Amino acid sequence: MSVRVRFAPSPTGFVHIGSLRTALYNYLFAKQNNGKYIIRVEDTDQTRLVEDAVEGMIRSMEWAGILHDEGPFIENHKIVQKGEYGPYIQSERLSIYSKYVDQLIDSGNAYYCFCSRERLDDLRETQRSRGETSRYDGHCRNLDINEAKKRVEEGEEHVVRLKLPENKDITFEDVVRGTVTFNTSDLDDQVLIKTDGYPTYHFAVIIDDHLMEITHIIRGEEWLSSTPKHVNLYEAFGWEAPKYVHLPNILNSEKKKLSKRQGDVAVEDFNRKGYLPEALVNYITLLGWSPDDEREIFNMSELIEHFHLERVSKSGGVFDVQKLNWMNNHYIKEADDDRLTQLAMKYVIGSGIINDEDEKNKYDWVKSIVVLVKEKLDYMMQITQYVQEFINDEIEVLEDEAKEMIAMEHVKVLLTEFDARLKDLEKFDAESIKQVIKSLQKDLGIKGKNLFMPIRVGVTGTVHGSDLVETIKILGKEKTSKRLNSIIIKL
């Protein structure tokens, strides 16, 4: 049987960085084995649905380059489903689940439960007060089936629960964790069908995975304790269970599960800031998986070649924003300048530095700044602060070191002469600007730090920055002169 894997998100909001990694690992494993990677939307919890969450998830995956073979797609601004195993949205599969829950009830592997919400709340409160784990007490477990069906036919509110065998060890193999065993005494008779008629995750996932011929379940470790219930359901139906792979959590700096409270955790957050998708994909792959050498930089094709589930760690990887920034900076430095400029224009226009009408005329100017400063960028949104530095005609000197530099006796003559010689240039290019600086060194007898630092302060207001000659060229003759004179008149 060929490999078939799935990513099955709930449309309840943003795409968490951990979900992106789960999807990525499924994708890499499928492509490495010439298999199929499927997206299935698990929307059975109708109370938590978020509008447009499915569209947002699909777009995030497309942005990251994690492209599915079957499932929902966006075409002409509408969701369409493609594949031979659909529907791929669970709320459209309710009639399918109904058939299988009846089979479970008739075989004695599930039962109707009529316990009220009030009774269950009281039960949980009592268990908490005793320091016990909250779990269903089996009150309806042994109801006469005919009596129970009659109550259902009369319209009495109910759920359907899984009937786990008592005091039985359930063992399964996990690719990451090896042999895992749970005893049913520590588990709950999970609800399979809710009062609204919708299946819970624990029931729908089994039916869907079986009917869609999923061969490997690659998901987060939070589902590990649920797996014995799923294994029990497979046995109840007489089906072969897929292979299980439970991934470690992505952790924050305190070694706790990464959450929104610690800052950016949504794929959309990183996209919005201008992280390159290949950098984010490269980085999160390494959070829980290690290659067989010390290498850190991989493109998608290389990840498909080198990724192996057997090298997934049991322990969680710490999400380090500084490390991500380092990796993203690497990709920015290697990226095509036009691609970066197109990204930069979005932020420059969005921040109001230039308007839409100026986009075409200002493209080359913004590109020159991108080329100048891209080695300093952690993510592309930061380009606005650098572009802003080229806007003003006048500058202020605020740094103490810069103030000391232009307070030197020779600086007024140096800047005045520099301004005059720049104005005389017929061609305002890098080579011509360099020649002006060389001529000042020769004619005024000033060199090194005493030459370059005052000029930089006179042009930018700071003692440190990007290449001086390129900075002056981008500023242009007129703006450079205005800046120099805003300093000279104060000396």
Same structural domain, 26 and 55: yes
pLDDT at site 422: 95
Q: Indicate if 274 and 179 belong to the same structural domain.
A: no
* C-beta separation of 423 from 436 below 8 A: no
Across the chain, mean pLDDT equals 94
For the ranges 248-257, 404-413, 446-455, which has the lowest average pLDDT? 248-257
Rounded to whole angstroms, the Cα distance separating 488 from 491 reads 5
Region for 476 from its dihedrals, namely left if φ exceeds 0, alpha if ψ lies in -120 to 50, beta otherwise? left
Number of domains in the chain: 4
Overall average pLDDT of the 195-211 stretch: 94
Residue 262 pLDDT > 80: no
Catalytic residue among 150, 256, 260, 403: 260
pLDDT band at 263 (very low <50, low <70, confident <90, very high): low
Do residues 447 and 341 share a domain? no
Residue 240 has pLDDT above 90, yes or no: yes
Question: Above 90 in pLDDT, residue 357?
Answer: no
Instruction: Report CA-CA distances (Å) from 427 to 424, 432, 439.
Output: 9, 7, 16
Give residue 425's region: left, alpha or beta (phi > 0; psi -120 to 50): beta
The helix/strand/coil state of 391 is coil
Does 329 reside within a domain? no
Beta bridge partners of 169: 183
Q: Which of 232, 247, 262 is the last residue of a domain?
A: 247
Same domain, 45 and 174: no
Active site residue 438: no
Evaluate whether 44 touches 82 at the Cβ level (below 8 Å): no
Phi-psi label, residue 472: left if phi above 0, alpha if psi -120 to 50, beta otherwise? alpha
Mean pLDDT of 72-78: 94
CATH of the domain at 458: 1.10.10.350
Would you say 133 and 123 are in contact if contact means Cβ atoms under 8 Å apart?
no
CB neighbourhood size of 48 (10 A): 12
Q: Is residue 192 in some structural domain?
A: yes
Supply φ then ψ for residue 155, to 5 degrees.
90, 15
Residues 425, 371 share a domain = no
Helix, strand, or coil (residue 2): coil
Which pLDDT score is estimated for 464? 92
Looking from the CA of 238 toward its CB, the CA atoms found within 13 Å total 4
- pLDDT attached to residue 268: 94
Mean per-residue pLDDT for 110-121?
Answer: 96
In degrees to the nearest 10, what's the CA dihedral of 400, 390, 278, 266? 70
Q: Is residue 416 part of a domain?
A: yes
| 42-65 pLDDT tens trace | 998 887 888 888 999 999 999 999
266 shares its domain with 304: yes
Average pLDDT in the 471-477 region?
96
Predicted pLDDT of residue 213? 97
pLDDT category, 354, cuts 50, 70, 90?
confident
Q: Is 31 part of a structural domain of the chain?
A: yes
pLDDT higher than threshold 90 for residue 115: yes
pLDDT at 69 over 80: yes
Residue 395 falls within a domain, yes or no? Answer: no
Residues 167 and 199 in one domain: yes
Whole-number Å distance between alpha carbons of 341 and 336: 9
In a domain, 324, yes or no: no
Q: For the chain, state the CA radius of gyration.
A: 32
Please indicate, yes or no, if residue 202 is contained in any of the structural domains.
yes
Query: So what's the pLDDT on residue 349?
Result: 94
Q: Give the model's pLDDT for residue 302.
A: 97
Residues 6+ apart with CB under 8 A from 294: none
DSSP 8-state assignment for residue 289: B
Could you tell me if 192 and 162 are in contact, meaning their C-beta atoms sit under 8 angstroms apart?
A: yes
Q: Is residue 331 part of a domain?
A: no
Query: Is it the case that residue 261 has pLDDT exceeding 70?
Result: no
Query: Which residues constitute the domain of residue 414?
Result: 400-488
pLDDT digits (tens, 9 = 90+) for 370-421: 999 999 999 999 999 999 999 999 988 989 999 999 999 999 999 999 999 9
Q: What is the DSSP string of 134-168?
A: P----TTTT--HHHHHHHHHTT---EEEE-PPTT-
Question: 426 and 372, same structural domain?
Answer: no
Contact indicator for 14, 268 with CB cutoff of 8 Å: yes
The enclosing domain of 204 has a CATH number of: 3.40.50.620
Show which of 210, 228, 247 is a domain's final residue: 247
Q: Which of 388, 410, 431 is the last residue of a domain?
A: 388
Considering the domain architecture, whether residues 169 and 125 belong to the same structural domain is answered as yes
Cα angle, residue 319 at apex, residues 318 and 321 outer, rounded to 5°: 140
pLDDT at 50: 82
Report d(CA 11, CA 50) in Å as an integer: 6
Give percent of the chain with pLDDT exceeding 70. Answer: 99
3-class SS at 117? helix
- The answer for 432, left when phi > 0, alpha when psi is -120 to 50, beta otherwise, is alpha
Q: Which class for 261: exposed (0-12), middle (13-18), buried (19 or more C-beta within 10 A)? A: exposed
If asked whether residues 375 and 432 sit together in one domain, one would say: no
pLDDT at 291: 92
Q: Which of 290, 190, 214 is nearest to 26 (CA)?
A: 214
Same domain, 98 and 173: yes
Q: What is the DSSP string of 170-239?
A: EEEEETTTEEEEEEGGGS---EEE-TTSPBPHHHHHHHHHHHTT--EEEEEGGGGGGHHHHHHHHHHHT-
Mean pLDDT of 346-359: 88
Measure the CA–CA gap between 327 and 100, rounded to whole angstroms.
48
- Grouping H, G, I as helix, E, B as strand and the rest as coil, residue 379 is coil
Same structural domain, 104 and 188: yes
